[in-house]
Structure 1
Amino acid sequence: MQPLSDTDKQEKLPYPKWWPIVAGALVGLLLRLFYSGGPDGPYGAMMGSFIFIAPLAVSAVTVYLAERLARREWGYYMVVGAGANALFVIGTVPAMLEGWICVIVILPLFVMIGMVGAVVMGAVCKMTSWPKQAAYSIAVLPLLLGAIEPTDGLPVRMSTIERSLTIAAPREVVWDQLLNVRDIQHEEVEDGIAFRIGVPPPLSAVSDAIDGQPVRRIAMGKHVHFDQIQTERREHELIRWQQRFYPDSFPPGAFDQHVVMGGTYFDIDTISYALKPVGDATELTLSMHYRVSTRFNWYADAVARLVLGNLEEVLLGVYRRRLEAPGA
């Protein structure tokens, strides 16, 4: 494909040099508007046809328009592919299509796919005479695939992640603290990745009984609440809870719909603490058994392990600081 002459550029392309990136991002936003269906029907935003093809469409349009201005180098393709997809994903927040939690989680994947797509489109522009047809075809491909992609039978991946630390306190004291954690302050959990990206912070975890069954009642910011039902208990050694959610556990706006606990795509099934004496101290181990159910579990599980591992470290840190504080 031959780039336009300076005269042609002035006559046919009267827009700034950065416009291809904006145009590509707008294509992504239009696709996201189209992909507004629920998890059980066509055109859902978590479908593979959107997650994997939409970034390619954004990059294809961006590179094609940029090539019409001037011949570009390979590094340029990667930069504009990443930039257009980043602008598209971030733009879903002011457009009220996504929340910041989903944006931060999915942004690296879209940028990576977008960079690959931009290089491929660049090769098409350099080596073929049909870049326009290729760009348009890739742009409409998500619309075609979204209508025929199966919406049931999401792959399920169950995983367990655990972290340990040693607390300078006997098991009996640590045990009592596990059962009742009150008045958790923001500064106690401010290092949590989950809470930095918008997950409501924990406020308390208090033991109670419902119909004679021992539970631990969890309260979080934004009026999030749920119960942890005790399923196993060995005094001063191990305690395990299973999460139980209610229709009003997650008020509107508290979580992004694609990452809410107990939802179609993510859940924390059980949480357990194991206590092991280490001299006069206690080794406390926190384990979480969780599920991801997406068309891209390899990525979703990697993100979950990063966020949940950090969450466990933060929660364990809360216990240690409280139990080791002067006068504790």
Structure 2
Amino acid sequence: MPSRFPKLFTYVVVIPLVFALFMYAWFNKASDGFFVVMGLAFLVGIPLGVGVLTIYLSPREKVKSLTYRVMMPWVPLLFFFLITLLFAWEGWACWLMAAPLFMVASSIGGLSAAHYKLKDKNKQERRYVSLIVLLPLVISPIEQMIAKIPGQYKAYTYIDIHASKENIWKNVTRVGEIAATQDKGWLTRTLGFPRPIRAELNYEGVGAFRKAIFDKGLVFDEKVTAYSHQRSMSFTIHADPYNIPSTTMDEHVVIGGQYFDVLNGTYELEPLSDGTCRLHLYSHFRLNTTFNFYASWWASWIMKDIQNNILQVIRQRAESGLPENRI
């Protein structure tokens, strides 16, 4: 059995891994616009092919196990993730968000390949494997010609604060230095996104300019479009991707890039009957992919995590009675 392991590993893991790396290089380096990593042909087609190859090359006795059919395709995918991260070809955040899609697609590929393998129809099996492996190269140009579908989405959050309107509002308009210990954004921290540092406003009123400053060089330039003192403030949001250092965010999820952008935000302060106030914060963001149905879940979670983080800082400072420029 030990002597068979290297050969088995080569067939079952290395060949699907080489397939994934080759496809990644092809899709990532193609300059004609028909093959892109940020497309369903890659995000579903490649792991599907990995799953099919893994099970097709596996011994028949192992394929009889349902657990093996579902989970074994994850092994070459794991090596694929590690290699692209090791050489900094992709960022941690990008793969973490793509991983669920990759795992499901590879398992579906494994299950479908097992269906043919266990029927013992070698000719039909080989034809099926060839079709699935080549499918991304056929589907991607069609997908790109159909074009991306821009979509606008809303991320809504709120928090109840036991403080006066005056105390809350001064912490809304200007947010002083936020210490790292105050950062409660667990999702954005896990994904390696920049954390909020402070927000500056030159005056209170329509036309005012506001800067929301994050670490790693990320700055949002904001312009106030509607203002009602101690009631509401709306503002446009602009992030220039060319001014964001390349090490700050993965190119596929960079804010203001071709796939993801934040458009505007609004604070609304609502007095409640028990003497507390409810602070609402919502934003609108744009997605421009062929898989908005999936990307919108992640984008919404990220935006809500950022907003909840800010709201908790505002509540802590307003309730403690500290001025907005204190930590």
Change in Cα spacing, 1:91 to 1:14, as seen in structure 2 (3 Å) is closer
CA contact (8 A) 1:67 1:125 kept: no
TM, length-normalised to structure 1: 0.87
CA contact (8 A) 2:39 2:291 kept: no
| Cα distance in structure 1, aligned partners of 2:168 and 2:32 | 45
Q: Report the more deviating stretch, 30-39 or 248-257.
A: 30-39
What is the aligned counterpart of 2:174 among 169, 180, 195?
180
Q: CA RMSD in A?
A: 2.5
| Cα distance in structure 2, aligned partners of 1:246 and 1:69 | 55
SS at match of 2:86: coil
What is the aligned counterpart of 1:284 among 259, 279, 282?
279
TM, length-normalised to structure 2: 0.88
1:321 equivalent to 2:316? Answer yes
Residue equivalent to 2:133: 139
| Cα distance in structure 2, aligned partners of 1:60 and 1:265 | 30
Q: Deviations over 1:285-318 (max 9, x none)?
A: 1101112222211111122222222222221111
SS at match of 2:199: strand
- The sequence identity of aligned pairs, in percent, is 24
Q: Deviations over 1:24-72 (max 9, x none)?
A: 2332122111111479812110122112211111111111111368553
| Cα distance in structure 1, aligned partners of 2:108 and 2:146 | 29
| Cα distance in structure 2, aligned partners of 1:45 and 1:178 | 39
Change in Cα spacing, 1:40 to 1:321, as seen in structure 2 (3 Å) is farther
One-letter code aligned to 2:220: F
Q: Report the more deviating stretch, 48-57 or 20-29.
A: 20-29
One-letter code aligned to 2:294: Y
One-letter code aligned to 1:105: M
1:42 equivalent to 2:34? Answer yes
Q: Report the more deviating stretch, 184-193 or 162-171.
A: 184-193
Residue equivalent to 1:204: 198
| Cα distance in structure 2, aligned partners of 1:194 and 1:226 | 16
* Cα distance, 1:17 vs structure 2: 4.5
One-letter code aligned to 2:313: V
Change in Cα spacing, 1:192 to 1:228, as seen in structure 2 (3 Å) is farther
| Cα distance in structure 2, aligned partners of 1:248 and 1:149 | 28
Task: Looking at secondary structure, tell me which structure has more helix per residue.
Answer: 2
What is the aligned counterpart of 2:257 among 263, 274, 279?
263
SS at match of 1:312: helix
SS at match of 1:236: coil
Matched residue count: 317
